Structure 1
Amino acid sequence: MQQKVLIIEDSVSSISLLKKLVEMAQLEPVLATTLTAAKHLFMHSEPEDYLCAIVDYDLPDAIHGEAIDFAVQSYLPTIVTTARLDEDIRKSVLSRDVVDYIPKENAQMFDYLMRLLGRLEKNKTIGVLVINTKRAERNAIAALLRRHNFITYECATAADAETILDKHSHIKLVFVDSEIQDKPATLFISWLRKQYAKEDLAIIGLASDRNNLLSARFIKSGANDFVRKPYHLEEFLCRVNQNIELIENVETIRRTANTDYLTGLPNRRHFFYTVNKMQRNQPAQQALALLDLDFFKSINDTHGHDAGDEVLRVVAKRLGVICSDVIIARFGGEEFCVYLPDFTPEEAIQRLQHICRKIAEKPVLFEQTSIPVTVSIGLTTQNDHNIQSMLTTADKLLYQAKHNGRNRVVHD
């Protein structure tokens, strides 16, 4: 279900702009021009229906930010907009549990709002761990992060942090205070960095560092960033977002580099990286299969390359569903590869025969034309820890499948 954004704003121009921004973020704007109207609209709603609220500080019936209090007390992550921002208003806004505030005077700030809406949605799946011996400090940091929809974890020791990180792979950011109990903070950061690359886990050091020496030691030990206590709220949040966005950007680059552009399946490069990594554990049993679409050149020649591309996409989608528990990749052209770790020979043969039947039983529909599709498969179940050797064997068996009439599985 499409999530909503409650907009409490009395300026016609601001309402128009905010409505467009919310719709561009593929969210549903719910508009109120006064605090009274907002209360009426929200009366029959649940907080879970809303991603957040965007609230003007100064409204006709709420001139001192009372609408902000309503949104916060309604358990809505609240973004505040204001036409004027003197120091008193700024302090008044930040004294409340808001996500952030945005002065209307700066056009760039609306671009920031767009990114903030996207962040609030993405943060729902991102974990942040706060390691600090002082319960009040770590609780305050965790509460601030939860305003931004992060999933938070807290602990006081390095040992507890290791356990939490092992258990929760969605943790992307760790705050390490300089006074953790059971290990010097710089040594723990150094250990963390050996376990997790910078592009997988961001580490931010925390300390009351007045002479700048500790910040340098943290960063040299492997931290991505450093925040001095007492921290400035806006700087703190900017550093959090920058470090999370850096990890996401790297993930996007990785995904692009490791994904076949046409089918969306992993590509040959990612296949070798993943399988070689898995083979370090030396699975007791394994199998590998090469799959090749039959008469694919004829499909291209008869129906055109667009039809050929559609056949590849449809087959890849079917393979992705059937092989969701194993490793699959498009190797190039009309060839796919499946790696089945911890499969007995019987299980592997059964799975590949199932694939062969599923591909053949339903033609691909392209522009009202039904295109029959079959696949030939070479499967090796020889437990050779040399992946290249297994590929060579599977390729020979695939050739036999083609020679024996296609649309079949040949195994050793």
Structure 2
Amino acid sequence: MQRKVLVIEDSAVSMNLVTRLVQQAKLMPICAATLTEAKHLFSQSNPEEFLCAVVDYHLPDAPHGEAIDYAIASFVPTIVITGRLDEETRTHVLSKEVVDYIPKENTQVYDYLSRLLARMEKNKHIGVLVVDHMRSSRTSMASLLRRHNFETFEASSAQEGLDILHQRDNVQLIVTDFKVPDMNGTQFVAELRKSWPKEQLAIIGVSSGNSALLSARFIKSGANDFLQKPYCHEEFLVRIMQNVEYIENVETIRRAANSDYLTGLPNRRHFFYSVNHVARTSPALQSVALIDLDHFKRVNDQFGHDAGDKVLKEVAKLIANHFSDHNVSRFGGEEFCLYFANVAAEEVDKSLESFRRAVRERPIRHQQQDIPISASIGVTHQGRKNLDAMLAKADELLYRAKSSGRNQLQSDLLA
């Protein structure tokens, strides 16, 4: 279901711009120029379909933010945009339970709105842990975070925070006060960094202390950021967004470095890293298989390179689904490699044979044409050898499968 965004804006220029931003975020804009029109459109829809509302502060029939109150009362997370830059308007808006306040100051604020719209959906799957000995402070921060759709967790001590971290694998950010009962905030950060690096878990330190050195102590202990209490509503949420985006950007870079650009499967470098890590546990059983698509050059020559790319992508999906519990990789060209740990040789061969048949029985559809494909497979179960030796043996068996007519499995279990 495509989520909707209620846009209430009387300026045609701003409406067009916000509408494009909503569409770029793959959301559906429901547009109204007045509060009356917005009420009518909203009443015709299912409220649960709305991700949020983007509401102008001043409207012809709602000059003092009445449309904001309507959106909030309708239980729709509300982002306010306004051309008014005075402090009184800002204070009035932020006194309400809005997601954020965006003045129409320059083009960059619309970039911020675009990021915010994308975040509203993503944040539903992200956990944020608030650690503070004062319940009122924890509740206040958690309330702000929930406006941005984060899943929030609260802890009154460092140990309680650690327990939550071990129980919840979706926590990407911790906001911790300096005054924590069982250890101070910088000690807590240092303890966290023993198990969670900055690229995996962001930490923001907060404190009401007047020491100018406290921010440096937090950063030197391993925190990503620091906030001084009392903090500005907007600054708190901007820093939250920046730190969550940092975690995501690092993960994007890591995924790009470890993945094959065409198929999305792990690449050769990551395959060796992962398999060598598993091999250090000395699994009792090890198998390595090489899969090569038969006559792949003919596919490119006859149907074009776009068709060849389509074949590789579809075969990669089949490999990922068929061998989801094992290490797989695109080794290069039309060749794929698989590693099995602690799986009986007979089961490995059975699974590979099932995959070979599935490839043969499933031609790839491209531009109203069916492209028949098949695969040759070589697999070795000589697990006491190192990985390079197993790959060499699998390659030898793959060559045997090719030279024996292709579209077959050659295993040293049967040799």
- Say if 2:116 is the partner of 1:119: no
Which moved further from structure 2: 223-232 or 62-71? Answer: 62-71
User: What SS does the aligned partner of 2:331 have?
Assistant: strand
Partner of 1:260: 260
Query: Aligned equivalents of 2:38 and 2:305: distance in 1?
Result: 55
Partner of 1:343: 343
Alignment of structure 1 residues 253-292 onto 2, 5 Å? 253-292=253-292
Return the letter of the residue paired with 1:293. L
User: What SS does the aligned partner of 1:195 have?
Assistant: coil
Query: Aligned equivalents of 2:366 and 2:29: distance in 1?
Result: 38
User: What SS does the aligned partner of 1:63 have?
Assistant: coil
Question: Is the 8 Å Cα contact of residues 158 and 181 (structure 1) preserved in structure 2?
Answer: yes
Question: Is the 8 Å Cα contact of residues 4 and 27 (structure 1) preserved in structure 2?
Answer: yes
Residues 129 and 281 (structure 1), Cα distance of their counterparts in 2 relative to 1, 3 Å cut: farther
Question: Is the 8 Å Cα contact of residues 101 and 234 (structure 2) preserved in structure 1?
Answer: no
Partner of 1:133: 133
Query: Aligned equivalents of 2:291 and 2:344: distance in 1?
Result: 19
1:392 CA displacement:
2.7
Question: Is the 8 Å Cα contact of residues 209 and 215 (structure 1) preserved in structure 2?
Answer: no
Return the letter of the residue paired with 1:37. E
Return the letter of the residue paired with 2:355. I
Residues 206 and 396 (structure 1), Cα distance of their counterparts in 2 relative to 1, 3 Å cut: same
Residues 59 and 315 (structure 1), Cα distance of their counterparts in 2 relative to 1, 3 Å cut: same
Return the letter of the residue paired with 2:27. L
User: What SS does the aligned partner of 2:260 have?
Assistant: coil
1:12 CA displacement:
2.7
User: What SS does the aligned partner of 1:182 have?
Assistant: coil
* Runs of 5+ unmatched residues, structure 2: none
Which moved further from structure 2: 233-242 or 160-169? Answer: 160-169
Question: Is the 8 Å Cα contact of residues 128 and 172 (structure 2) preserved in structure 1?
Answer: yes
Partner of 2:192: 192
User: What SS does the aligned partner of 1:194 have?
Assistant: coil
Question: Is the 8 Å Cα contact of residues 268 and 331 (structure 1) preserved in structure 2?
Answer: yes
Residues 302 and 7 (structure 1), Cα distance of their counterparts in 2 relative to 1, 3 Å cut: closer
Residues 83 and 367 (structure 1), Cα distance of their counterparts in 2 relative to 1, 3 Å cut: closer
- Say if 2:122 is the partner of 1:150: no
1:264 CA displacement:
1.9
User: What SS does the aligned partner of 1:54 have?
Assistant: strand
* Runs of 5+ unmatched residues, structure 1: none
1:178 CA displacement:
0.9
User: What is the RMSD of the two structures over their aligned residues, measured on CA atoms?
Assistant: 2.0
Return the letter of the residue paired with 1:171. V
1:356 CA displacement:
0.8
Query: Aligned equivalents of 1:245 and 1:396: distance in 2?
Result: 46
Identity within the alignment, %:
56
Partner of 1:86: 86
- Say if 2:242 is the partner of 1:242: yes
Residues 110 and 280 (structure 1), Cα distance of their counterparts in 2 relative to 1, 3 Å cut: same
Question: Is the 8 Å Cα contact of residues 132 and 180 (structure 2) preserved in structure 1?
Answer: yes
Query: Aligned equivalents of 2:302 and 2:295: distance in 1?
Result: 11
- Say if 2:54 is the partner of 1:41: no
Question: Is the 8 Å Cα contact of residues 282 and 385 (structure 1) preserved in structure 2?
Answer: no
Partner of 1:166: 166
Return the letter of the residue paired with 2:222. G
Which moved further from structure 2: 193-202 or 9-18? Answer: 9-18
Query: Aligned equivalents of 1:82 and 1:307: distance in 2?
Result: 50
Aligned residues: 412
